[in-house]
Amino acid sequence: MLKLSNIKIYEELSDVELLHKIINKYNIKESDIINWHITKKSIDARKKDDLHYTYTIELEVKNEKSYPKIEKTNKVEAPILKLENSKSKFEYSPIIIGAGPAGLFAALTFIENGITPIIIEQGKKVEDREKDIQNFMNNGILNINSNIQFGEGGAGTFSDGKLTTGIHSSYCRTVLNQFVKFGAPEQILYLQKPHIGTDNLINIIRNMRNYIINHGGKFYFNTKMIDFSIKNKHLNSITVKNLITDKIEEFRTNHLILAIGHSSRDTFKLISEKGLLIEPKNFSVGVRIEHLQSMINNSQYGVQSKLKLPPAEYKLTYHSPSGRSCYTFCMCPGGTVMASSSEENTIVTNGMSKFKRDGVNANSALLVNVTPDDFSSTSPLSGIDFQKDLEEKAFILGGSNYNAPIQKVSDFLNDKLSEYLGNVIPTYMPGTTFANLNTILPKFVSDTLKEGILYFDTKIKGFANPDSILTGVETRSSSPIKILRNQELESNILGIYPCGEGAGYAGGIMSAAVDGIKCAIMICK
């Protein structure tokens, strides 16, 4: 393979036009090309007067020796889900709790190795879940088992479908390939910051489910694990309850993947009471900030470019002299601030974008780190109390009707109640209420947020625009606990495999999916 890196392109080109431009530049004969593909495409916006795309491409050619000056590379295949010598046989099917990315990719891994898993999901199928979310947004009617946090696809389904990650695993490529197999656009294979979009994810997850079912897997929706039994320090069975019919059923199993997500508070309590080793962990809380997407575009790209650039993104971090950090998280270009409560009488926010990211506003979580030292007790579940206290206060501040409390940035910085909107219109539904968020946020959080906003304004001009909107509160950026596991990925109760974001081992769709694959492979082995 020939590898051509750091190719600067200043115009919009089709794939064919791109290829011709590149082979002409490097004097490569088109007749020599057997195959070619883009391996990376990014936007270089460091200099507004030199804005361009940067490409890396690989070409398989007939006469490689004819191009001695061009870098050579070996074709690297992503690992497949099927193990070469998998001969796993199970007396009882392995069970997966949770049909988020960790659970679904664990199930796909089992299926590819001839193993038929059972997937227990307390929420609904993704298409039915979408209706419950819309009902909450339109009418303020919350379904505590089917919402932004709970249901097929997990919490990331109704966000932006971001596939960026900080982990370095060969299985990342496998995850991308699987998403494309089930309907994701092929550009996720090479974009520097790939995303799928909620509108695409709904169809992709449905396709994954049907594939798993067609190959012998079984889904139990509207079903919650309420107990499990242990024999000789090893998992023996689980007990589940159908949340519609109240039917209780027991499943024998010796292998359980706990892919329960970061908001499964009832299950956290259950496994703690049953003796799984849990420890509290750091997480972050804060607000959602909304700007006009056009302002973010102008700040990031300038106004001179003729390229048809996608809505601009940002990722910012500030370290306060106090020792706290403020950072942006899950930035959603052209997106919407979502009502993400999973418990009654609470307000939780998140962000969502569709694939086109064509909304008027940009939004991002604006967060401050908290540690177990900030919690009210030493209980391993004390982080949940910290989260819930903020969520309940936000509910009251918003009017006790699922309206979210909002505040203009200028008023937040000056500790005063907002009284009117400027040029940024909040997107949160079912509604919003003017409030002073300083009155419910811990002082160290509000102080660090203020410092961060002013600092970020030096990086993105207009970040501290007085009319920008803060919506409270964002509390579910990651799990408040970590379920301990050994090198074989098992908990202290053998046969139970803590997995994904809820267990404290992932931080997004990609890393959760990879962890699901690893847990399933460990069980297969």
Taking only the tens place, the pLDDT of each residue in 232-270 is: 999 999 999 999 999 999 999 999 999 999 999 999 999
Res 160 pLDDT > 90: no
Res 50 pLDDT > 70: yes
**Confidence class of residue 280 from pLDDT cuts 50, 70 and 90?**
very high
Please give the pLDDT value at position 442.
97
Closest CA to 36 of 54, 60, 56: 60
Closest CA to 454 of 471, 466, 445: 466
Taking only the tens place, the pLDDT of each residue in 109-119 is: 999 999 999 99
Res 305 pLDDT > 90: no
> So where are the chain's domains?
2-66, 95-279+482-524, 282-474
Closest CA to 103 of 275, 254, 259: 259
Res 86 pLDDT > 70: no
Taking only the tens place, the pLDDT of each residue in 430-480 is: 999 999 999 999 999 999 999 999 999 999 999 999 999 999 999 999 999
**Confidence class of residue 87 from pLDDT cuts 50, 70 and 90?**
low
Please give the pLDDT value at position 88.
67
Share of the chain above pLDDT 90, in %: 91
Please give the pLDDT value at position 130.
94
Matching fold, domains 2-66 and 95-279+482-524: no
Please give the pLDDT value at position 77.
84
Instruction: Determine the Cα–Cα distance for residues 372 and 216; give it in Å rounded to an integer.
Output: 43
What kind of fold does domain 95-279+482-524 have according to CATH? FAD/NAD(P)-binding domain (3.50.50)
Taking only the tens place, the pLDDT of each residue in 164-207 is: 998 999 999 999 999 999 999 999 999 999 999 999 999 999 99
Q: What is the mean pLDDT of residues 258-286?
A: 96
Phi, psi for residue 264 in degrees, rounded to 5: -85, 70
Please give the pLDDT value at position 76.
81
Please give the pLDDT value at position 366.
98
pTM value is 0.95
Q: Hey, which residues does 53 pair with through a beta bridge?
A: 9, 43
Mean pLDDT of the chain: 95
Both structure tokens of 349: 């926010």
Both structure tokens of 12: 């919009």
Helix, strand, coil percentages, rounded to 5, for the chain: 30, 25, 45
Please give the pLDDT value at position 363.
98
What kind of fold does domain 2-66 have according to CATH? Alpha-Beta Plaits (3.30.70)
Q: What is the mean pLDDT of residues 500-518?
A: 96
Angle, CA 253 vertex, CA 248 and CA 256 arms, to 5° = 95
Instruction: Determine the Cα–Cα distance for residues 413 and 449; give it in Å rounded to an integer.
Output: 9
**Confidence class of residue 370 from pLDDT cuts 50, 70 and 90?**
very high
Res 84 pLDDT > 80: no
Res 272 pLDDT > 70: yes
Res 415 pLDDT > 70: yes
Q: What is the mean pLDDT of residues 487-502?
A: 97
Distances (CA, A) of 522 to 102, 117, 271, 356: 14, 14, 21, 38
Helix (H, G, I), strand (E, B) or coil at 369: strand
Show the DSSP H helices in 122-225 as ranges: 126-139, 171-181, 198-214
Q: What is the mean pLDDT of residues 9-18?
A: 93
Sheet harboring 33-44: ordered strands across?
2-9, 52-61, 33-44
